[in-house]
Amino acid sequence: MPRLSSVVVLAASLLIACVASGGDTVYVVSFTTGELIRYDAADPAGTTTVLSSSGSLVKPSGIAVGPDGNLYIGEDGDGAGYAPRIAKYEPGSLTLSTVYAFGSYDVFPGGLAFKGNDLLVGRNPFFQNTGPIVKLSNATGGATSASDYTSGGSLASSPGIALAADGKLYVADQTYNFISGIASGPVKRFDATGTYEGEVIASDTSGNYGPTGLAINGTALYSASIMTGAVLVTDLGTDTTNPFATSGNPFEVGPLALLSDGSLLAGSPSGSGTIYHFGTNGALVGTFASGLGQIGGIATVAVPEPATLVLAGVGITSGLVFCRQRRT
């Protein structure tokens, strides 16, 4: 009996050791260096891994996780021999490939969002790339083709796009003036077929000064105001917009991404390389000095919480304890 009791106590004491912990996986691309990095949201500095080295991507300005689990990256190219394109990075095989090249240089990718297996592609305001949102059909495989997705509601650019659960598309329609250095524009809404419905946040109102990144959590639409370095939140049930969070400095919030706990990441497009983490109440939880210069895009993959973990099997062999975990 004493020996059995000691085994039970040992197994119980090792329950915690068998539980894996960690935050969501975060992927970031650098517009400045062309790098793709990965880190654990629970420990950004301690878990950073370079997946694609400097120069392997050319001016990446957007990233999205596809339904196949791969990463899709919008590259703006070099204006000469390297055309704007959509690249794919496969975490499973650590390979980078081209999905589609915009050979005519008429689309410089901005915000990205998946609708099924089709990739919706916005346009980068820093290239003064005007025009509708583009649909890249069968982006995850098969015959890929590009066509206009939105109609009506003329767009100056679209550095941020986000799809709601009802299929409606929200677009940060930014105009950037290179002479004055001022960004402006509204946030617009399109129905599930891509037809223009109207403005959700008018330009230069409700704290919206140069809409950039967008993210949706249920009926809450988060939008980055690049001129003020602030993040706004809009109740899509009432279209009421209020301040949500601030970096404290202009040009410090651009691309946005949600973590599974409802908190928000915002990347700096200014060149500081800073990634801001805001809590669900808008408070600044912390910052990560990524060293990436201008943050081109952020994407997150939820890692389920351990929640209830049951020891489905406990064994002792030669003094070692092994565990088999079962999530419930």
Residue 279, beta-bridge partner list: none
Is the model's pLDDT at 178 over the cut of 50?
A: yes
Q: Which residue in the block uniquely carries the two structure tokens 């917009």?
A: 241
Q: In the chain, which segments carry CATH 2.120.10.30?
A: 22-301
Is the model's pLDDT at 98 over the cut of 50?
A: yes
Give the predicted TM-score (pTM) of the model: 0.87
How confident is the model at residue 80, as a pLDDT? 83
Is residue 27 very low, low, confident or very high in pLDDT (cuts 50, 70, 90)? very high
The superfamily CATH assigns to domain 22-301 is: TolB, C-terminal domain (2.120.10.30)
How confident is the model at residue 315, as a pLDDT? 34
270: Cβ contacts below 8 Å, ≥ 6 apart: 251, 252, 294
Calculate the CA dihedral of residues 107, 108, 111, 116 and round it to 10 degrees.
40
The answer to whether the beta carbons of residues 196 and 151 sit under 8 Å apart is yes
Is the model's pLDDT at 41 over the cut of 80?
A: yes
Convert the chain into a string of H (helix), E (strand) and C (coil): CHHHHHHHHHHHHCHHHHCCCCCCEEEEEECCCCCEEEEECCEHHHHCEEEECCCCCCCEEEEEECCCCCEEEEECCCCCCCCCEEEEEECCCCEEEEEEECCCCCCCEEEEEEECCEEEEEECHHHCCCCCCEEEECCCCCCCEEEECCECCCCCCCCEEEECCCCCEEEECCEEECCCCEEECCEEEECCCCEEEEEEECCCCCCCCCEEEEEEECCEEEEEECCCCEEEEEECCCCEEEEEEECCCCCCCCCEEECCCCCEEEECCCCCCEEEEECCCCCEEEEEECCCCCEEEEEEECCCCCCCEEEEEEEEECCEEEEEEEEC
Is the model's pLDDT at 48 over the cut of 50?
A: yes
Q: Which of 6-15, 185-194, 297-306 is predicted most confidently?
A: 185-194
Nearest-Å Rg of the Cα atoms of the chain is 22
How confident is the model at residue 17, as a pLDDT? 36
How confident is the model at residue 79, as a pLDDT? 82
Residue 257, beta-bridge partner list: 265
Is residue 299 very low, low, confident or very high in pLDDT (cuts 50, 70, 90)? very high
Is the model's pLDDT at 167 over the cut of 80?
A: yes
110-126 residue pLDDT tens: 999 999 999 999 999 99
**Among 184, 283, 165, residue whose Cα is nearest residue 225:** 184
Is the model's pLDDT at 6 over the cut of 90?
A: no
Rounded to whole angstroms, the Cα distance separating 127 from 148 reads 19
How confident is the model at residue 328, as a pLDDT? 34
Percentage of residues of the chain with pLDDT beyond 70: 85
129-161 residue pLDDT tens: 999 999 999 999 999 999 999 999 999 999 999
Is the model's pLDDT at 317 over the cut of 60?
A: no
Rounded to whole angstroms, the Cα distance separating 277 from 286 reads 5
196-231 residue pLDDT tens: 999 999 999 999 999 999 999 999 999 999 999 999
Higher pLDDT, 178 or 321: 178
Q: Which of 1-5, 110-114, 317-321 is predicted most confidently?
A: 110-114
Is residue 105 very low, low, confident or very high in pLDDT (cuts 50, 70, 90)? low
Q: What is the mean pLDDT of the chain?
A: 88
Token duo for residue 307? 């929640």
